[in-house]
């Protein structure tokens, strides 16, 4: 049986949109479409998650990634794959 994909929640609320959550989510989408991350994660857009001042934000595995820090999030993902 194929293992399930893990979810990455990306805020798509008003304030995060103002802070360019679109480019954050598109860079993440690109990152998870390349090996070795490919097929292991699913991006889910959410409404406001009440951390607007730190936006754009993402939540993965109960860890909050602030300020659109794509590198930090990819580090979490890679760590989880090992």
Chain residues binding ligand FES by CB under 6 A are: 11, 13-16, 48-52, 55, 57
| 49 vs 77 by CB, closer to ligand FES | 49
The CB-nearest residue to ligand FES is 13
Our measurement of the distance from residue 59's CA atom to the centroid of its chain's CA atoms, rounded to an integer in Å, reads: 6
| 62 vs 82 by CB, closer to ligand FES | 62
CB of 65 to ligand FES, least distance (A): 12
CB of 6 to ligand FES, least distance (A): 21
CB of 18 to ligand FES, least distance (A): 8
Measured CA to CA in angstroms, residue 7 lies from 18, 43, 52, 56 at distances of: 24, 6, 21, 17
Q: Tell me the β-bridge partners of 10.
A: 45, 58
Say whether 81 sits in a helix, a strand or coil: helix
- Distance between CA 51 and CA 5 in Å, rounded? 25
């Amino acid at each position: 049986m194929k293992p399930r994909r893990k979810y990455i929640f990306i805020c798509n609320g008003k304030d995060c949109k103002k802070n360019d959550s679109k480019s954050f989510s598109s860079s993440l989408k690109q990152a998870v479409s390349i090996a070795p991350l490919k097929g292991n994660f699913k991006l889910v857009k959410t409404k406001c998650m009440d951390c607007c001042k730190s936006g754009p934000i993402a939540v993965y595995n109960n860890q909050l990634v602030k300020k659109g820090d794509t590198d930090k999030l990819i580090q979490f993902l890679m760590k989880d794959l090992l």
